[in-house]
Amino acid sequence: MTHAAPTDLGNAKDTGATTPAVELSGVSKRFGDVVAVDGVDLTIADGEFFSMLGPSGSGKTTVLRMVAGFEEPTSGRVLLGGEDVTGRPPYARDVNTVFQDYALFPHMDVLANVEYGLRVKKIAKKERRERALEALDTVRLSGYADRRPSQLSGGQRQRVALARALVNRPRVLLLDEPLGALDLKLRREMQIELKQIQRDVGITFCFVTHDQEEALTMSDRIAVFNEGQIQQVAAPAELYEHPATDFVAGFVGTSNLLKGEAARAVFGRDGHVSIRPEKIHMTAHGAAADEPPRASGTVSEVAYLGSVTHFGVDLDGGGHLTVLRQNLHGSADQALSQRGQRVDLGWADEHVITLTPTASDPGSADPAADGATTP
């Protein structure tokens, strides 16, 4: 795979490096009785690959549309490059949006599609052409200028849509689930490419997705949305290793959450307590081990996934944990892979996380969990 050299498409980086590209201050949006976005504060740095992650209906697209200017906040302010743009229409904002359905013109070839925005802005033909060809080079589609969209694959169409937005040299590129229509393999390839393109051009990317793997793969930072509010903003590793709430722990990975009596019995802690599946060592019950087991239980589910196997373990002390093991030894692990197998579990204390209960979680009434934070 060849990669384009850094281009000047990302001129936004040259200006005001310390001014955030996007700032939302107390932004809410109501549609009748529905509170789609509920008091969101957010700062996205210049040149950052920022993702908004959350389940369907959590408000992330509405936030993106307010940044683009397609929706006006019911309350709060939107700033771009330090300037208040709250009441401004989309065309008066230095942003471009790439949608999931690409919205390419079928009767125009690729070059004409990419040039279109510049034509509307009455940019002279020579410059238009140069910038469009440069944008096509950035998305590795130099040889495709004469094709019609119908003569391209899904991934190529997606890249044309990206070139069409990049050619305008926006300060911020907004991407609304742009990989949603691609199959899994292509999606993974495009995730890597998108990140590389973003690094090349240096433009701030603000990316909406409900796919946690996609967000972890590409982002500098991720905001996790639930019910119109942001639960946590953090870099991918921080989000995964130190989720702040039950919701984040469950949405980004497998949370392995134990509460109340089970948490006390297994972890010796009160509140909502969690450990990631790959942080647990599992051995056959009674087998020699360096450390005494932390808990014992019975394998109740086995899911073989090729490189790893997921084990569901019913704990003797109450509760259930998922354990993930890499399939390093093939058949040597098969003894553990029987439902009903008795097993011992161990872990290091540093991997045990105490979570803040999510407000809408019925279990959050547990007073013992109040004020809990990561260790």
Where along the sequence are the contacts to ligand ATP (CB under 6 A)? 31, 34, 36, 54, 56-62, 210
Contact 76, 25 (CB under 8 A): yes
Element (DSSP H or E) covering residue 120: helix 110-120
Closest C-alpha among 271, 244, 274, 273 to residue 368? 271
**Closest CB to ligand ATP among 64 and 123?**
64
Residue 59 or 253: the one with the smaller Cβ distance to ligand ATP is: 59
Q: Strand order in 95-98's β-sheet?
A: 95-98, 172-176, 204-209, 49-53, 221-226, 229-234
User: How wide is the angle at C-alpha 266 spanned by C-alphas 264 and 272, nearest 5°?
Assistant: 55
Q: How far is the CB of 35 from ligand ATP (least distance, A)?
A: 8
- Please, what is the minimum distance in Å from the beta carbon of residue 175 to ligand ATP? 13
* Strand arrangement of the beta sheet that strand 83-84 belongs to: 34-44, 22-31, 75-80, 83-84
Q: How far is the CB of 66 from ligand ATP (least distance, A)?
A: 10
Handedness of CA 122, 127, 133, 138 (dihedral sign): negative
| Secondary structure element (H or E) that encloses residue 24, with its range | strand 22-31
Compute how many other C-beta atoms are within 10 angstroms of the C-beta atom of residue 205: 25
Rounded-to-integer distance, Cα 256 and Cα 14, Å? 45
Closest distance to ligand ATP from the beta carbon of 173 (Å): 17
Nearer Cβ to ligand ATP (70/116) = 70
- Which one, 100 or 327, has the nearer CB to ligand ATP? 100
Residue number with CB closer to ligand ATP (22 or 36): 36
CB of 59 to ligand ATP, least distance (A): 4
Measured from the CB atom, the residue of 176 and 344 that comes closer to ligand ATP is 176
Nearer to ligand ATP, 54 or 271 (CB): 54
Of the pair 52, 313, the CB lying nearest ligand ATP is at 52
**Shortest approach of ligand ATP to residue 338 CB, angstroms?**
40
Q: For 139-142, which contacts have Cβ atoms below 8 Å and span 24 or more sequence positions?
A: 139/163, 139/166, 139/197, 140/1, 140/2, 140/3, 140/4, 140/193, 141/110
| Dist. CA 373–CA 266, nearest whole Å | 18
264, burial (CB in 10 Å: exposed 0-12, middle 13-18, buried 19+): middle
Smallest gap, in angstroms, from Cβ of residue 37 to ligand ATP?
A: 7
CB of 65 to ligand ATP, least distance (A): 7
Q: Which two tokens stand for residue 288?
A: 């020699």
